Chain A
């Protein structure tokens, strides 16, 4: 086919207009995506990372024809997503995270049968294909139960089977691992990796950095509707070069102490994560300044657990990129 790229997005923008209020309607506008440009090669596994509300889902929905861009153009397998929707839809699969979007009072088998019919899977192939996918997502043997009795992870897996029914060339996965247990998540990663290895193009969004690091050939970090960084996981990690990370486990750190840490010379970023009674302080600093001593001095008198100084990971790079956005 004509195009070398599976996905081409050129200066995509999307503004949501909403009317709120009933008696005195007020018009509000949200610029969800503001000029996103990227390409994904055939067979590539491309990750889209970014904080909540960054515009990841909006970008995906413009690419999979569910939303018409406010401006800009996009092509999937060489077909325009606004003008040639049927051509695009034939070639794509879409899986989103969460437990909605299935017919609850039908069995998994009926759900898959229905969508196989909708997506034009040839009748004689349906049975084999459905059995194969049930096996793949680990629902074989429970396919006759109604979906309303399924756990969240089972529904998620059914979603994935549904998205693969017509063996799409391009697969959009919007947070597919939400609510999936660790073992199943690992299997899911292997499935996605296998698909990409056999030529399927995958566009994936996730909030799990390890997942992105392990799977993606390239990653775009998006925040405030714009791409902030784009490259291979290794390239992104290099963004955090010259960075050193100090992690401190502590109990009952007052807000003032955290502020004091932020003011230390050489410190770039300080984050607090609460884990039960424990607080995990993560301090990013310039690599050539050893801030560990200063940090511990500021926290004097507070009960501390493990203290650890380490090289930055992809997650640290991500935090650095997003926080400067």
Chain B
């Protein structure tokens, strides 16, 4: 109960802190419009209403992913720069519990991109927002965000171990978009990408959302997304405990 409270309060406050950054605000204003436009022009040729909505959702998920990738990947470094890393690591909590709210918060702020893309799609291009399974869509969106947050913890903990984490983050943005089928169906991708796609939580999250949009079983995908994310959480938590101890030995918690 205490843990859940910590996660909730932590996530909300970190989301507040992140979303008030001028940089984030600027991105949040521009990106969804671009994404909605992209979705429409890529799929207008098909002319099918459902394909349009599906594309807008896919584009929105791409926004969530970008937010998690850059936000979580840099989460620990960001806290270090703010000088808050020492203060939060000093709490009598597992390191994973301290960092997880931050990575989920990057997913939550990313959700704004998803919603805004849908709204702009509606306002600018008249995409009709009729989902096949509206309730399942909401559940899928929540699971997707929390799942990506857990995946983000894995990114956060492994990225601090790497010297050129920023470069890595940049190279991961587009491949994951593609491989997880956020923009085009996985079926049109080369066969070798299938196993990679299968172990990425983003694939199942995006798929659940797509199924909820245009019809499909939804729930199996949601469960798979959650399952894989939990595995990421466990690995991320173990890595983070190791990272924390190493940082205390190497004096890298503070900005030296």
CA distance A115 to B5 in the complex (A): 12
Answer whether residue A186 sits at the interface, using C-beta atoms and an 8 A cutoff. no
The stretch from B14-22, B42-50, B197-205, B214-222 touching chain A is: B14-22
The size of the chain A interface, using a CB distance under 8 A, is 31
From B6, B245, B251, give the contact of A118 (CB < 8 A). B6
From A64, A110, A118, give the contact of B16 (CB < 8 A). A110
Answer whether residue B253 sits at the interface, using C-beta atoms and an 8 A cutoff. yes
Shortest C-beta distance, A91 to chain B (Å), equals: 9
Answer whether residue A5 sits at the interface, using C-beta atoms and an 8 A cutoff. no
B249 touches A114 (CB 8 A): no
* B83 surroundings in chain A (CB, below 8 A): 98, 100-102
Which residue from chain A places its CB closest to the CB of B9 in the assembled complex? Answer: A117
The stretch from A46-54, A65-73, A250-258 touching chain B is: A65-73
CA distance A67 to B93 in the complex (A): 17
Answer whether residue B139 sits at the interface, using C-beta atoms and an 8 A cutoff. no
* B89 surroundings in chain A (CB, below 8 A): 66
A104 touches B91 (CB 8 A): no
B10 touches A66 (CB 8 A): no
A105 touches B16 (CB 8 A): yes
| Binary B-proximity of A217-247 (CB < 8 A = 1, otherwise 0) | 0000000000000000000000000000000
Shortest C-beta distance, B90 to chain A (Å), equals: 6
Answer whether residue B92 sits at the interface, using C-beta atoms and an 8 A cutoff. yes
B92 touches A120 (CB 8 A): yes
Chain B residues in the interface with A (C-beta under 8 A): 2, 5-6, 9-10, 13, 16-17, 20-21, 82-84, 86-93, 98, 245, 248-251, 253-254, 256
B20 touches A118 (CB 8 A): no
Answer whether residue A207 sits at the interface, using C-beta atoms and an 8 A cutoff. no
CA distance A288 to B237 in the complex (A): 68
Which residue from chain B places its CB closest to the CB of A107 in the assembled complex? Answer: B16
* B245 surroundings in chain A (CB, below 8 A): 68
A66 touches B248 (CB 8 A): yes
B248 touches A65 (CB 8 A): yes
* A64 surroundings in chain B (CB, below 8 A): 90
* A104 surroundings in chain B (CB, below 8 A): 82
A66 touches B253 (CB 8 A): yes
Answer whether residue A90 sits at the interface, using C-beta atoms and an 8 A cutoff. yes
Shortest C-beta distance, A75 to chain B (Å), equals: 16
Answer whether residue A150 sits at the interface, using C-beta atoms and an 8 A cutoff. no
Which residue from chain B places its CB closest to the CB of A92 in the assembled complex? Answer: B90
Answer whether residue A106 sits at the interface, using C-beta atoms and an 8 A cutoff. yes
* B90 surroundings in chain A (CB, below 8 A): 64-66, 89, 94
Having A100-B84, A101-B87, A103-B13, one finds 18 other A-B pairs with CB under 8 Å, namely A66-B89, A89-B90, A89-B91, A89-B92, A90-B92, A94-B87, A94-B90, A98-B83, A101-B86, A102-B84, A106-B17, A113-B9, A114-B10, A117-B6, A118-B6, A118-B98, A119-B92, A123-B5
Which residue from chain A places its CB closest to the CB of B19 in the assembled complex? Answer: A105
Answer whether residue A127 sits at the interface, using C-beta atoms and an 8 A cutoff. no
Shortest C-beta distance, B18 to chain A (Å), equals: 8
Would you call the interface of chain B mostly helix, strand, loop, or mixed?
Answer: helix
Shortest C-beta distance, B38 to chain A (Å), equals: 30
* B13 surroundings in chain A (CB, below 8 A): 103, 106, 110, 113-114
A103 touches B248 (CB 8 A): no
Task: In the A-B complex, list the 10 residue pairs whose CB atoms are closest, starting with the nearest.
Answer: A100-B83, A105-B20, A101-B83, A118-B91, A89-B92, A90-B92, A117-B9, A68-B249, A114-B13, A68-B248
Shortest C-beta distance, B238 to chain A (Å), equals: 17
CA distance A290 to B231 in the complex (A): 79
Which residue from chain B places its CB closest to the CB of A87 in the assembled complex? Answer: B92
* B6 surroundings in chain A (CB, below 8 A): 117-118
B20 touches A117 (CB 8 A): no
From B2, B16, B84, B256, give the contact of A101 (CB < 8 A). B84
Highest count of chain B CB atoms <10 Å: which of A65, A68, A123: A68
* B9 surroundings in chain A (CB, below 8 A): 113-114, 117
A67 touches B248 (CB 8 A): yes
B92 touches A103 (CB 8 A): no
* B84 surroundings in chain A (CB, below 8 A): 100-103
CA distance A98 to B82 in the complex (A): 12
20 contacts between A and B (CB under 8 A): A18-B256, A65-B90, A66-B89, A66-B253, A66-B254, A67-B248, A68-B249, A86-B92, A89-B90, A100-B83, A100-B84, A101-B83, A106-B17, A113-B9, A114-B9, A117-B10, A118-B6, A118-B93, A118-B98, A123-B5
Which residue from chain B places its CB closest to the CB of A123 in the assembled complex? Answer: B5
